[in-house]
A and B are shown apart, each in its own frame.
Chain A
């Protein structure tokens, strides 16, 4: 899982496998962002899940949000090589003006 001052985590899987990345956050929030960052690019939003959704799907992606445990997860079904990237979770700070990023998970999908 990712948060705080932990260094970037690395995860390596085979193409076709499912994978889940976890995120714990410190302050109460009603929304969790999941971003994907490809090498040499800026982060791009892939899923934004709100507390009234608990689960959200987008293609092969599935995000969950549990406000009681202050955690979120991002799952990828049947991962492809092009899913190789760094995945960040992020939550708004109190007051909602600042987006606080987790340390990220480097996912490598091997053929």
Chain B
């Protein structure tokens, strides 16, 4: 079963706390992504990972960092969370480039208070 799994699904954090969002995929995809989606807007790319320890910034990397130590896992870290990082975060994966299907997880709704 081809799946991208995100944990947790819902998270409430206080401003200044550290946040860890986890993502796993069971398709051995090389490429993984972290997007955020704000109400009424499309998806904005935060980071892209081409493989283990091979990560690049997307359009909005400020305030975020990522870690990919195994091909099937990709983590998003918010050091000292801010209220403007309240959003829905989606992890995704694909075979190589984006000329093929990109598979998305169900998302993590993060609220920073």
- State the A residues within 8 Å of B (CB): 7-8, 30-31, 33, 35, 40-45, 48, 88, 90, 92-93, 96-104
Ranked 3 nearest A-B pairs via Cβ: A42-B104, A96-B97, A101-B42
Contact B104 A44 (CB under 8 A): yes
- B74 within 8 Å of A by Cβ? no
Residues of B in contact with A, size category: 20 to 34
The answer, among B42, B97, B101, for a CB contact under 8 Å with A92, is B97
| Most central of B33, B42, B92, B105 by chain A CB within 10 Å | B42
Taking the closest CB of chain B, its distance from the CB of A32, in whole angstroms, is 11
Assembled-state Cα–Cα distance A44/B106 (Å): 10
- State the B residues within 8 Å of A (CB): 4, 31, 33, 40-43, 45, 48, 50, 56, 58, 90, 92, 97-107
Contact B98 A99 (CB under 8 A): yes
Residue of B nearest to A89 (CB): B42
**Which residues on A sit within 8 Å (CB–CB) of B92?**
42
Contact A99 B41 (CB under 8 A): no
**Which residues on B sit within 8 Å (CB–CB) of A100?**
45
Taking the closest CB of chain A, its distance from the CB of B101, in whole angstroms, is 5
**Which residues on A sit within 8 Å (CB–CB) of B101?**
33, 45, 48
Assembled-state Cα–Cα distance A99/B56 (Å): 14
Question: Beyond A33-B102, A42-B107, A98-B48, is A88–B42 a contact (Cβ under 8 Å)?
Answer: yes
**Which residues on A sit within 8 Å (CB–CB) of B97?**
92, 96-97
The answer, among B41, B42, B50, B106, for a CB contact under 8 Å with A97, is B50
Contact A98 B104 (CB under 8 A): no
